[in-house]
Amino acid sequence: MLSTLLTALLAAFWIMVPAYIPNPVAALCGGGTPIDFCRNYTDGRRILGNGKTYRGLICGVLAGVLIGLVQIWLVGTYHWDLPRQTILSVTLLALGALLGDMGKSFIKRRLGKERGEAWPVADQYDLVVGAFLLTIIFDPAWFFAVVTLPVLIAILVITPVLHRSVNILGYWIKVKKEPW
Ligand code: CTP
Ligand code: MG
């Protein structure tokens, strides 16, 4: 029982690493031209806001893919008994995580929430929704082979915990303006 639980938690973490990396890296490297080029939507508010930049998007996705390639290499070299990533899966996970983050910002702006304002639940799960959507659309075989029910539950449990911890850390080291 305990070992099944630990296996699912470890598998969940391993699968999601390429999706977890892009957000903190975007916070570290972000800045410069906003993705929406400072344009407003029909409601007069920003499309995405200054918190979504090209530099953050590109650095974040590259970092997620790079870590994913290291994972692929590790499992291949040391034959670790962990879920297998592919170049496609890690790319979809990394890109999906930040597309999910952008989608969330788009909806946040439509709801009149300012940049950086907390939006509980959405702030924690946007990356999961984006990463899952992209992998389900473009690599469903990988997704359904790897994300079993116990792994899915484990992902839903560990994601908010990691999200919160990393953001508090980012706030302490003054990389993030808010601890969420
Ligand atoms: N960031 C970026 N580009 C992205 C995502 C994030 O440059 N595509 C950087 C920004 O500097 C941003 C920081 O990472 O301020 C933290 O990201 P996040 O919390 O997602 O953005 P918020 O500033 O909170 O904006 P929002 O309210 O739109 O979520
Ligand atoms: Mg935020």
Q: Which atom of ligand 1 is nearest to the CA of 48?
A: 28
Residue 46, beta-bridge partner list: 40
Annotated domain spans of the chain: 2-172
Instruction: Round to the nearest angstrom and report the end-to-end CA distance of the chain.
Output: 33
Helix (H, G, I), strand (E, B) or coil at 56: helix
Look at residues 96, 93, 115, 97 and name the one whose alpha carbon lies nearest to residue 105.
115
pTM for the model stands at 0.96
Give pLDDT tens digits for 12-48.
Answer: 999 999 999 999 999 999 999 999 999 999 999 999 9
Ligand 1-lining residues (CB < 6 angstroms) = 26-27, 30-31, 49, 51-53, 56-57, 98, 101, 105, 108, 115-117, 176
Work out the average pLDDT over 124-129.
98
